């Protein structure tokens, strides 16, 4: 089945089975490896991307169903010349990643939160990331990183 998909501001022509998950198209066809395969059933958040600015589990949503919607992956957050996004810098500064497998999904979930809530409380951050799992137990550093990025964004 042929369809178009808009990812990080670019529209791509894709030819894949109609039930192929978005994650597979991103990683295998478009070579965007930011989103990770964790559980494959929508429960861990490793595959999180943004759909029109809101978090989406890409592991079980068919890519063919997303025509006309703007998909953003971790790669799409980079600034001009490949500059790190403030959230990426903050995660590095706070050493929030241990194995870092969950971090792309965490950063995109945090980006979605900060777009609607630029100055979230700690409780709001924890609630927003509640469904993104980190098996290393880096949650406190992740929360600090998001707080740091929020402060930086506010100048």
Residues of this chain that interact with ligand FES (CB under 6 A) are 37-40, 42-47, 57, 59
Q: How far is the CB of 48 from ligand FES (least distance, A)?
A: 7
Q: Which is nearer to ligand FES, 51 or 89 (CB)?
A: 51
Residue nearest ligand FES, CB atom distance:
59
C-alpha span between 125 and 113 (Å, rounded):
8
| Beta bridge mates, 49 | 56
Q: How far is the CB of 155 from ligand FES (least distance, A)?
A: 34
C-alpha span between 128 and 75 (Å, rounded):
21
> Phi/psi at 13 (nearest 5 deg)?
-90, 125
Q: Which is nearer to ligand FES, 9 or 137 (CB)?
A: 137
Q: How far is the CB of 109 from ligand FES (least distance, A)?
A: 11
Q: Which is nearer to ligand FES, 23 or 96 (CB)?
A: 23
Q: Which is nearer to ligand FES, 38 or 86 (CB)?
A: 38
Residue pair 38/51 in contact (Cβ under 8 Å)? The answer is no
Q: Which is nearer to ligand FES, 57 or 144 (CB)?
A: 57
Q: How far is the CB of 21 from ligand FES (least distance, A)?
A: 8
Q: Three-state DSSP class for 87?
A: helix
Q: How far is the CB of 56 from ligand FES (least distance, A)?
A: 10
Give the ranges where the chain is alpha helix by DSSP (H): 22-24, 86-93, 103-116, 122-128, 139-153
Residue with tokens 């029109």: 52
């Amino acid at each position: 089945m042929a369809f178009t998909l808009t990812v990080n501001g670019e529209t791509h022509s894709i030819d894949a089975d109609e039930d192929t998950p978005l994650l597979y198209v991103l990683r295998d066809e478009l070579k965007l490896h930011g989103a990770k395969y964790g559980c494959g059933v929508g429960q861990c958040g490793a595959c999180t991307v943004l759909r029109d600015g809101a978090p989406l589990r890409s592991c079980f949503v068919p890519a063919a169903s997303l025509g006309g919607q703007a998909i953003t992956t971790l790669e799409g957050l980079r600034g001009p010349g490949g500059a790190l996004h403030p959230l990426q810098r903050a995660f590095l500064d706070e050493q929030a990643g241990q194995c870092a497998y969950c971090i792309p999904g965490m950063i995109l979930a945090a980006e979605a939160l900060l777009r609607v809530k630029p100055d979230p409380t700690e409780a709001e951050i924890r609630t927003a990331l509640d469904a993104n799992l980190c098996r290393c137990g880096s949650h406190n550093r992740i929360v600090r990183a998001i707080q740091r990025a929020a402060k930086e964004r506010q100048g």
